Structure 1
Amino acid sequence: MVWPCYIALPLETVRPTNHLGRAFSYLSHTIPDFTDNCLINIMKCGEDFYATTETNYIRKINPETLETLEKVDYRNYAAINVATSHPHYDAQGNVLNMGTSIVDKGKTKYLVFKIPPTIPEKKKKKNNLKHLEVICSIPSRSLLSPSYYHSFGVTENYIIFLEQPFKLDILKMATAYIRGTNWASCITFHEEDKTYIHIIDRRTKRTLLTKFYADPMVVYHHVNAYEEDGHIVFDVISYKDHSLYQLFYLANLNQHFEQNSKLTSIPSLERFVIPLQVNKDAEMGENLVKLESTTATALKEKDDQVYCQSEDLCEGIELPRINYAHNGKKYRYIYAAEVQWNPIPTKITKFDILTKSSLKWGEEHCWPAEPVFVPAPNAQQEDDGIILSVIVSTDPKKPPFLLILDAKLFTELARASIDAEIHLDLHGLFIPSVGSPEEPEDNVLRN
């Protein structure tokens, strides 16, 4: 076996020929099979629904009965080893998602792909995934250390991808089973590195030539993005380090949880602004952001590089949701779980970006899950609707319940308790079930 002889070379600059090509091929096939524990989110794909995780596996489910159906492997449709659990849906109903192709044909790259909402009539027996289309490929800056990412942003014309210094170690992954270690131990935060901001034009299917970057950070959740006066504005929840990830090791989830579960970096809602046109005559250090509504900056540097600094909007929120009708568009309200130095949320909040004010719901002994926004029928305003959140109680005498809030006033409308033990969930999906055309109001919650 000869491939270890080559891995000490500067692989990012070597073309995989002959022995190197075989080494990379071997490496790509020795990466252990990832988990199919699809516990993170629910994805709608045409008429089908899938439970998802961050690997190449998704699991089809019956939304009526919650019955578990077949396991699906993305690799049957594209060379994707991992994929996000936060797909987007465009106006046509296409699923937009991202995945990483690890050491495929000597290259590691990030793929943006699309799954259509409908299937041609002659191919009705096939599922929508058979029509998956890769619409863009972004080379990883490192062959053996691609970025970890949990979500991405979209606007009407662009896709925003953060290649952050929180990286997968492919060599560790390839030897994980031999060493008896888990997948999580193969991810490392490189605090000396930068965060690179890739902007993909959905019309040309190419990235913008200007190189945008920011300080090192860890981002799990994009909130929203939109275009305004020649700029892209995008909001994310960022951390200065990877301490949140570290807290979920079993060693920290024990009887000393309260002592072990302290974040060293509190989550922060950050706004970045990217100028779509960079003036070549702009002076070095000039701020290229011309929007008066933000303090975010984009400073021109040499070699077509632009250093982006964010505007701090607020601190201490995670699991952000919005009215999805405003996804990719200018918006005002964020619904999120409130967290401080501990990753367990104790309140849910509605944050007003315009006024920088917030409304909150909290109750003693209650841990709320991510708040899901459901629009009201014929809604006229962005916050016309309700908020759904599953509440887990730390009081054994208090059963868990589904909380329903007025999204505008953030006051309680109802709650539905259940006589069962449930865990704190991550992400949910509201699936409206519409009856006959004569009964359009027949909506029920499925989760």
Structure 2
Amino acid sequence: MAESADNLEAILCRNGTETPEPVKAEVSGTIPPWLQGTLLRNGPGLFTIGNSSYDHWFDGMALIHSFTFKDGEVYYRSKFLKSDTYKKNITANRIVVTEFGTLSVPDPCKNIFSKAFTYLLKVIPNFTDNNLINIIRYGDDYYASSEIQYINQINPLTLDTTGRVNYRNHIALNLATSHPHYDDEGNTYNMGTAIIGLGKPKYVIFKVPAHATDLKDKKNLKNPALKNLQQICSIPFRSTLFPSYFHSFGMTENYIIFVEQPFKLDIVRLATAQIRGVTWGRCLKFDQDDNTLFHVINKKTGKALSTKFYGNAFVVFHHINAYEEDGHVVFDLITYKDNSLYDMFYIKNMRENRTSNKSSKDISPPICQRFVLPINADFKGNSLGSNLVTLENTSSTAALQKDGSVYCTPETLFQGLELPEINYKYNGKKYRYFYGSRVEWLPQSNKIAKVDTATKTHIEWTEEDCFPSEPKFVASPGAVDEDDGVVLSSVVSVNPQKPPFMLVLDAKDFTEIARATINFPVHLDLHGLFIPQSS
């Protein structure tokens, strides 16, 4: 495994290449005839520009990929996101825009000796627009996204970058997540953070309607869906100078679940970051002595439940799913004991871990946990410390405290899985299965798995020298069973004799249905979405 780790680190940190015209893959097996559409993927793909290199894996310039399924064939193409950051860096032939873990030298901000918060006001609005994390749909448009106030619109067919959008032109926020939710009507829900310069610091939850129904001349209007963006609510920070970091959130039929975790952004440290020569990634800290607060917000009224639900300190990046059952809100997420996962992806640490033969035992492992919040419990009829959870088949607890708050402990569903995926038709609904990257070695898994939450069992796919990306579930037309469909994953290999391929698995038993081999370089990515042909 050490040799594979060595080769994988080289693959992860190499510069990717564009494949601007569609390349037909070589299909072995049989791709279901109903599988028609495009899988869009996003991730870092350019790590060295001129003589400068990025310090963190999450800083590389975004490389957009598409895998188009048509009549049993697969076509691959890729293009770098032509963000303003990309253009500036390429023109200068060096890194001139600061990223999460990499300082530009020199930094484009010239007012580095101004007062701390004056500097902060200048930096945040002019932050990088290198959207390398995910693909978001707003209305009929698609955007490359990261965790900043900018998103870049892309053409899902050609992968051309067609324009940049500033969230601040539509809503007052500085940061936004790359993991929104979509309801059955096609509306998009997302949330972000308003830090400074936009009124009182707060978290903001907003909705983008599926259709711009109130706008005239919608065909000639740029970003029509965003013109109808609606703020659902705002939530004040627990601590004005230490807002919680968040990467995703949960959504049920009636509620938004926001986990305010003790993994925090130090605002003062951020305000003076350039003066001290540190990146904003170094302004995040985990407070193990704090607790985690669970906010439950009514989607229609924008009001949060008055009961304070909380749990022990942990770090969370990805939610799996959430739903309501018999007066409870159930939400599943992947937790860590600390923030060592982000630190591990500093390229220097990746190399040191590999050369010193460190393993995943040195890093807090991901644990899939289930929390259950009794939102309709009768507190008056229960004694202090009693478990308010009345659902069967769960070991999650919620104990009433003297101050009227409820302390929650989770049930462990599974250990060692990240990048979770579900049948999205069950998003916000009671479900049984989720899929993800099976983490037994970091920084990247060489397995993908399907977890059964009812039986607490799992099945896996793996192949020697192969490293699959985040799995994506696509349901069969007219499917009745939750796991009736396929799981797609882009796979790269550390074996130079084995080219990359798109893997197609039967979602029920994880048997391989087909693979589409691509005789061009494909870079390992992060997240994406599947666009059916009819969309």
TM-score (norm: length of structure 2): 0.75
The answer on whether the counterparts of 2:116 and 2:272 sit within 8 Å (CA) in structure 1 is no
- Who is 2:371 aligned against? 272
The answer on whether the counterparts of 1:27 and 1:103 sit within 8 Å (CA) in structure 2 is no
- Who is 2:494 aligned against? 394
Q: 2:140 aligns with which of 47, 64, 73?
A: 47
SS at 1:325 equivalent: helix
The answer on whether the counterparts of 2:252 and 2:428 sit within 8 Å (CA) in structure 1 is yes
Cα separation, 2, equivalents of 1:43 and 1:34: 20
Q: 1:327 aligns with which of 416, 419, 427?
A: 427
Cα separation, 2, equivalents of 1:183 and 1:312: 32
- Who is 2:524 aligned against? 424
User: Post-superposition shift, 1:248?
Assistant: 1.0
Cα separation, 2, equivalents of 1:24 and 1:46: 39
Are 1:116 and 2:116 matched, yes or no? no
Cα separation, 2, equivalents of 1:348 and 1:268: 15
Cα separation, 1, equivalents of 2:190 and 2:245: 14
User: Post-superposition shift, 1:341?
Assistant: 5.0
Moved more, 272-281 or 308-317: 272-281
Q: 1:156-235, aligned counterparts within 5 Å?
A: 156-235=253-332
Cα distance per residue 1:191-225 (max 9 Å; x no partner): 11101000001122110000010000001000000
Q: 2:235 aligns with which of 138, 154, 162?
A: 138
What is the letter of the counterpart of residue 214 of structure 1?
A: G
SS at 1:207 equivalent: coil
Moved more, 99-108 or 374-383: 99-108
Cα separation, 1, equivalents of 2:387 and 2:196: 38
Cα separation, 2, equivalents of 1:419 and 1:230: 53
- Who is 2:342 aligned against? 245
Are 1:376 and 2:476 matched, yes or no? yes
Cα separation, 2, equivalents of 1:79 and 1:105: 6
Cα separation, 2, equivalents of 1:74 and 1:336: 30
Q: 1:255 to 1:279 in 2, by over 3 A?
A: closer
Are 1:103 and 2:202 matched, yes or no? no
The answer on whether the counterparts of 1:194 and 1:214 sit within 8 Å (CA) in structure 2 is yes
User: Post-superposition shift, 1:24?
Assistant: 9.8
SS at 2:332 equivalent: strand
User: Post-superposition shift, 1:238?
Assistant: 0.5
The answer on whether the counterparts of 2:121 and 2:196 sit within 8 Å (CA) in structure 1 is no
User: Post-superposition shift, 1:172?
Assistant: 1.8
Cα separation, 2, equivalents of 1:75 and 1:260: 43
The answer on whether the counterparts of 1:103 and 1:144 sit within 8 Å (CA) in structure 2 is no
Q: 1:72 to 1:105 in 2, by over 3 A?
A: closer
SS at 1:398 equivalent: coil
Q: 1:318 aligns with which of 418, 428, 440?
A: 418
Q: 1:337 to 1:312 in 2, by over 3 A?
A: same
Cα separation, 2, equivalents of 1:319 and 1:373: 12
SS at 1:156 equivalent: coil
What is the letter of the counterpart of residue 269 of structure 1?
A: C
Moved more, 259-268 or 42-51: 259-268
What is the letter of the counterpart of residue 194 of structure 2?
A: S
User: Post-superposition shift, 1:26?
Assistant: 3.8
SS at 1:253 equivalent: helix
- Who is 1:65 aligned against? 158
Cα separation, 1, equivalents of 2:154 and 2:498: 30
Cα separation, 2, equivalents of 1:39 and 1:105: 26
User: Post-superposition shift, 1:362?
Assistant: 0.1
The answer on whether the counterparts of 2:350 and 2:443 sit within 8 Å (CA) in structure 1 is no
Cα distance per residue 1:343-377 (max 9 Å; x no partner): 31110001111111111100000111100000111
Moved more, 71-80 or 31-40: 31-40
Identity between Structure 1 and Structure 2 (%)? 54
RMSD: 1.7
Cα separation, 2, equivalents of 1:337 and 1:300: 36
What is the letter of the counterpart of residue 283 of structure 2?
A: C
Cα separation, 2, equivalents of 1:419 and 1:144: 51
